[in-house]
């Protein structure tokens, strides 16, 4: 659907004063009709000149009538060149005589001019979101399909119009945009392109085939702010899953024809994809874009890379960066490299322990951290001193965390104790007198905190928590450890709102009371034996 906007018309008198005359829709039809029927090819030049004037006017003013004429010119020229392709008049053949070859050469020049105007219009930034830009993007994509069909050496030869497609993609990702909070672009043409890009394997393969070179060129010429727009446009396209087919020959195609053999080699795609991603990650990113790419790295990018190990430096730098959020977001991808590609990270648990801060308990990515931490601490080969440090630090944080955070901590500690029974001494150690907590909360090395000699007295404190759900949940540590592990997913998404909602919807049973029925509230019958 074409985007709507408020028109700011420029008067026809103003156009004539500047020597510009834009034909009406009927005039465009009159110019386009004889081009094919009478081979009046000079009208192509007239239409191209008018199209050029339309773009010049729209770059300065938002004129609805001019845009309407421009849309008609663009579609008319597309229909003309489509028919010329079908008649093989846009590609030279050995069978053509010298005169026809010259005509074909002349028509090819006009066709290239038409495409260049289309690229200019797609890449341009105008005062309004123009419907003609959507038309031109669709036209350029249809020209890719037509060229792939008609520009073959032989009808049975595989071919894809990669040159036209690459220029269209470059024009698209070079557009100015405002990066949104999630790192994506707000550009309407990018979303229009995504509807074509998403389901078609050939568009995806050739999108990345030359993207690395194009990005390197843009990086040399664009400012940091402009590069952030380029990243936002590319990231918006990358964010959705790519086509994954067991047999690539069966994957849907935009061109509906045979592709060159290289397009059916997944290894070739992964190699080009990897080059583009590594170049893209060298761009100067905003903080939101940095976080956003880490969010999708493990499931949208790493599976499509030929050598995901190339991301090791990027991920370790992210994991070692300051703050709580960025290291948490890097955990997924870092774990994927450690699990699948044997990445060695000696201080992994030290850094994981350092992320347990009061601020982390209030971040929006708290659930992600606990989900991954539960996975990382699941091995029974980890030392008791390490596990005890995590248990103690979590118990200490629970004293100052929100009720929704404590609801996660209690079952998390319970599961750790069940999984690592050597740490049960922190709960059951009756032979203690004149107790002094040896735990060093400021020590960053979890193997040196002396937590294994401490106790989780904080859990007993939580049994008198102001929130009844928390207090009831904490009493599990008073009972024998016969309960199976908690399903942590049941506790990760709790918030103040959900806790209040659960209390509001709770059905309370009336208390059973025993009482003696009295005939009177006051009177001698009620106060036998009493006297004033």
Q: List the chain domain ranges.
A: 22-151, 155-160+172-302, 307-345, 349-505
What is the full per-residue pLDDT of the chain (532 aa) written as tens digits?
A: 444 444 443 334 334 334 557 888 889 999 999 998 898 999 999 999 999 999 999 988 888 899 999 999 999 999 999 999 999 899 888 778 888 889 999 999 999 999 999 999 999 888 777 899 999 999 999 999 999 999 988 878 899 999 999 999 999 999 999 888 888 998 999 999 999 998 999 999 999 998 999 999 999 999 999 999 999 999 999 888 888 777 888 899 999 888 999 899 999 999 999 999 999 999 998 889 999 999 999 988 999 999 999 999 999 889 888 778 899 999 989 988 988 888 888 788 999 999 999 999 988 899 999 999 999 998 888 999 999 999 999 999 999 999 989 999 999 999 999 999 999 989 876 666 677 889 999 999 999 999 998 999 999 999 999 888 889 999 999 888 888 889 999 888 877 777 777 777 777 676 666 666 666 666 555 455 555 4
Distance CA 261, CA 248 (A): 11
> How far from chain centre, in Å, is Cα 482?
43
Those residues whose C-beta lies under 8 Å from the C-beta of residue 151, and which sit 6 or more positions away, are: 85, 90, 91, 159, 161
Those residues whose C-beta lies under 8 Å from the C-beta of residue 121, and which sit 6 or more positions away, are: 55, 132, 133, 136
Q: Which pTM value belongs to this model? A: 0.82
Torsion of CA 485, 487, 492, 495, to 10 degrees: -90
Distance CA 62, CA 55 (A): 11
Q: Where is 207: in which H helix or E strand? A: helix 201-209
């Amino acid at each position: 659907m074409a985007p709507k906007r408020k028109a700011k018309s420029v008067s026809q008198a103003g156009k004539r004063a500047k020597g510009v005359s834009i034909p009406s829709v009927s005039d465009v039809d009159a110019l386009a009709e004889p081009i094919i029927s009478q081979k009046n090819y000079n009208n192509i030049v007239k239409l191209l000149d008018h199209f050029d004037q339309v773009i010049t006017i729209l770059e300065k003013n938002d004129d609805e009538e001019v845009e309407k004429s421009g849309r008609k010119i663009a579609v008319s020229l597309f229909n003309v060149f489509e028919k010329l392709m079908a008649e093989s008049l846009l590609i030279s053949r050995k069978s053509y005589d010298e005169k026809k070859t010259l005509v074909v050469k002349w028509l090819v020049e006009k066709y290239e001019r038409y495409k260049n105007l289309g690229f200019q219009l797609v890449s341009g930034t105008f005062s309004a979101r123009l419907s003609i830009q959507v038309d031109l993007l669709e036209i350029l994509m249809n020209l890719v399909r037509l060229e792939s069909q008609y520009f073959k050496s032989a009808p049975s030869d595989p071919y894809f119009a990669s040159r036209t497609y690459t220029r269209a993609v470059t024009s698209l990702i070079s557009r100015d945009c405002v990066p949104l909070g999630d790192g994506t672009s707000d550009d309407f043409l990018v979303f229009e392109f995504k509807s074509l890009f998403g389901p078609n394997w050939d568009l995806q393969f050739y999108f990345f085939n030359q993207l690395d070179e194009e990005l390197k060129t843009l990086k040399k010429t664009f400012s940091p702010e402009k590069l952030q727009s380029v990243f936002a446009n590319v990231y918006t396209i990358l964010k959705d899953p790519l086509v994954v087919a067991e047999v690539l020959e069966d994957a849907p195609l935009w061109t509906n024809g045979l592709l060159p053999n290289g397009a059916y080699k997944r290894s070739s795609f992964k190699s080009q994809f990897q080059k583009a991603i590594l170049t893209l990650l060298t761009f100067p990113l905003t903080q939101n874009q940095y976080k956003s790419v880490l969010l999708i790295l493990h499931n949208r990018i790493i599976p499509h890379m030929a050598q995901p190990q190339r991301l090791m430096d990027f991920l370790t730098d992210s994991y070692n960066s300051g703050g709580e959020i960025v290291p948490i977001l890097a955990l997924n991808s870092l774990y994927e490299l450690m699990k699948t590609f044997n990445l060695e990270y000696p201080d992994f648990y030290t850094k994981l322990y350092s992320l347990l801060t009061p601020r982390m308990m209030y971040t929006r990515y708290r659930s992600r951290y606990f989900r991954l931490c539960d996975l990382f601490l699941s091995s029974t080969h980890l030392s008791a001193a390490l596990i005890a440090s995590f248990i103690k630090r979590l118990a200490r944080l629970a004293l100052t965390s929100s009720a929704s955070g404590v609801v996660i901590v209690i079952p998390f500690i319970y599961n750790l104790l069940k999984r690592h029974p050597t740490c049960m001494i922190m709960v059951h150690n009756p032979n203690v007198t004149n107790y002094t907590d040896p735990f060093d909360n400021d020590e960053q090395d979890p193997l040196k905190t002396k937590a294994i000699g401490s106790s989780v007295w904080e859990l007993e404190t939580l049994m008198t928590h102001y929130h009844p759900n928390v207090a009831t949940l904490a009493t599990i540590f008073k009972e024998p450890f016969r309960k199976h592990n908690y399903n942590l997913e049941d506790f990760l998404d709790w918030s103040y709102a959900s806790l209040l909602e659960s209390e509001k919807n709770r059905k309370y049973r009336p208390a059973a009371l025993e009482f003696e029925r009295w005939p009177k509230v006051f009177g001698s019958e009620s106060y036998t034996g009493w006297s004033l």
